[in-house]
């Protein structure tokens, strides 16, 4: 069936999660952070995701903001950085992450062709609304779906079920786009057409399914619809 619905992961796909550490490190008086910000950005994201998986397996769900804070605390300790003001600043910046440069144009193009565009994210509704508002892309999204409504993190099938429940579409009508290889694989196994936005050029995860398409950014997405 033709694609009718384009579903995007949020963090790392539409929004640049490394921007918080990068922006803070460039501010005056943050020399200690400037020395280690790439490590902190990488570790922060890695632990944030690991904590979602572990909580899902243990049936210990929490708000995504909690795992975001927990991941940052681990990353800062690993980097030997103990500065409450820097922690506060990094967390504040996470609520206003910029979109990647190509995002507004891609969403506008998909909208112009009559495709429904929406977010499906681990993020809480409040976090997603803040990011969308900050990036100025709200008018191009018909929904911002959060795992908070089903009480488990990706890649649980209950999360992907939210798309059909919201839009009444068949699975093969959905193009699911994520910067996380495991998320794209999970969605592919569920039955969506999937794109892995592999900005870092990482190897494909060895899982029960694989992404249908791999791209370096979002630019080629309209060609699939």
Q: Which residues does the annotation mark as catalytic?
A: 9
For residue 35, give Cα distances in angstroms to 8, 32, 39, 123: 33, 6, 9, 29
Please name the residues in contact with 201: beta carbons below 8 A apart, sequence gap of 6 or more: 216
Helix (H/G/I), strand (E/B), else coil: 7:
strand
CB 148 within 8 A of CB 61: no
Element holding 111 (H helix, E strand): helix 103-112
User: DSSP letter at 26?
Assistant: T
Structure tokens at 112: 């112009």
């Amino acid at each position: 069936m033709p694609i009718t619905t384009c579903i995007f992961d949020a963090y790392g796909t539409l929004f640049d999660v490394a921007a918080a550490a990068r922006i803070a490190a460039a501010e005056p008086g943050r020399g200690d952070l400037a020395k280690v910000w790439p490590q902190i950005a990488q570790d922060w994201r890695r632990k944030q995701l690991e904590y979602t998986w572990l909580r899902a397996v243990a049936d210990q769900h929490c708000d995504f903001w909690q795992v975001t804070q927990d991941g940052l605390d681990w990353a800062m300790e690993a980097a030997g950085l103990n500065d409450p003001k820097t922690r506060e600043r990094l967390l504040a910046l996470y609520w206003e992450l910029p979109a990647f440069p190509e995002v507004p144009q891609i969403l506008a193009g998909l909208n112009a062709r009559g495709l429904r565009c929406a977010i499906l994210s681990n993020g809480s509704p409040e976090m997603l609304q803040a990011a969308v508002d900050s990036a100025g892309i709200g008018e191009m999204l018909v929904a911002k779906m959060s795992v908070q409504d089903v009480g488990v993190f990706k890649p649980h099938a209950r999360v992907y079920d939210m798309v059909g429940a919201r839009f009444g579409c068949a699975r093969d009508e959905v193009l699911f786009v994520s910067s996380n290889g495991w998320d794209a694989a999970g969605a592919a196994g569920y039955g969506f057409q999937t794109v892995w936005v592999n900005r870092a050029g990482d190897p494909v995860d060895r899982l029960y399914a694989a992404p249908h398409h791999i791209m370096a950014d979002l630019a080629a997405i309209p060609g699939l619809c």
